[in-house]
Amino acid sequence: MSAGHAPPSAAPAVPVLEVFSSFQGEGPRVGERQVFVRLARCDLRCAFCDTPESYPTPDRARVQRAPDDDGDDAPPNPLPVADLAAAVARLDAPRGLHRAVSVTGGEPLLHPKAVRALGLACRALGLRVHLETGGHRPGPLEEVLDAIDEATPDLKLASACGFPTPWDAHRASYRLLEGARKALCVKAVVAATTTPAEVERAAAFCAEHVPSAPLVLQPMTAKDGAPPPPPPAALLPRLHTAARRHHPDVRVIPQAHKLMGVR
């Protein structure tokens, strides 16, 4: 058996921020109950980031004890993947309460071996495996492709992120997902600084490289005083109109979990 096909018990330990049950708050599956596995560390620094606590590795993870319970366990990091899979299984009780496990971060593709092992273990539980990624790490994405069912890569707009859009890495990532038919959507966070011209270019890029996936424009959620500001309501239809010139399926979906006040 190759290392790439090792069972979860032989997989590396991985730094974890939290494991919890909640509702998917972003994209086409909004409202679906999922188990979230948030891995620590990120190699990007988006200006709008709502999870900066994921940048360092905390000494201990927070692992919710039961799906309707506020109590957390605090196992030390890094967690063996087998323990992580066991935590997911414990939360999905009764079995089938959740439709999927969402592997998120930080940037989960900093830990491809662990993501792959966790994905295979969660599939064995009957859970669909959903990967959230910045869409900028095509090499690690290829490593995990057979262990995930769908992914939501980002398109990092420079106007919202504060750094240049990584077009080449996005292109390679999108093509991999398109070839495997595993792109659920592409998510682009938009801010007050985002222009129709920038969104138009992004939409044409997505239509060319990942045509099967809807493009979701996600209005940035306001952060206390930190730039950039969220988009004014009047900007959203203009951005949508610009994107639709080049893309057949463009949706505007805010972060619903923030509206509900759940994590």
Q: Give me the DSSP letters along 48-59.
A: T-S-GGGSSPPS
* Closer residue to ligand SF4 in complex, CB, 77/255: 255
Select from 15, 108, 134, 140 the one that contacts ligand SF4 (CB under 6 A): 134
**Distance (Å, rounded) from C-alpha 154 to C-alpha 133?**
6
Quick note: the x/- pattern for ligand SF4 over 99-128, rule CB under 6 A, is ------xxx---------------------
Name the DSSP class of 210. -
C-beta closer to ligand SF4: residue 83 or 173? 173
**Residue 22 or residue 51: which is nearer to ligand SF4 going by CB?**
51
- Residues 254 and 248: beta-carbon distance below 8 Å: no
Q: How many CA atoms lie within 13 A of 230 on its CB side?
A: 15
* Min separation Cβ 187 and ligand SF4, Å: 10
Describe the crossing of helices 235-244 and 196-209 by its angle, rounded to 10 degrees. Answer: 40
Return the residue of 6, 13, 44, 86 that touches ligand SF4, per CB under 6 A: 44
User: Of the listed pieces 9-17, 30-38, 45-53, 67-75, which binds ligand SF4 according to CB under 6 A?
Assistant: 45-53
Rounded least distance, CB 158 to ligand SF4, Å:
13
Q: Does 159 bind ligand SF4 (CB under 6 A)?
A: no
Contacts of 242 (CB under 8 A, 6+ apart): 196, 197, 199, 200, 203
Q: Would you tell me how many other CB atoms lie within 10 Å of the CB of residue 58?
A: 16
Binding site for ligand SF4 (CB under 6 A): 42, 44-46, 49, 51, 54, 105-107, 134
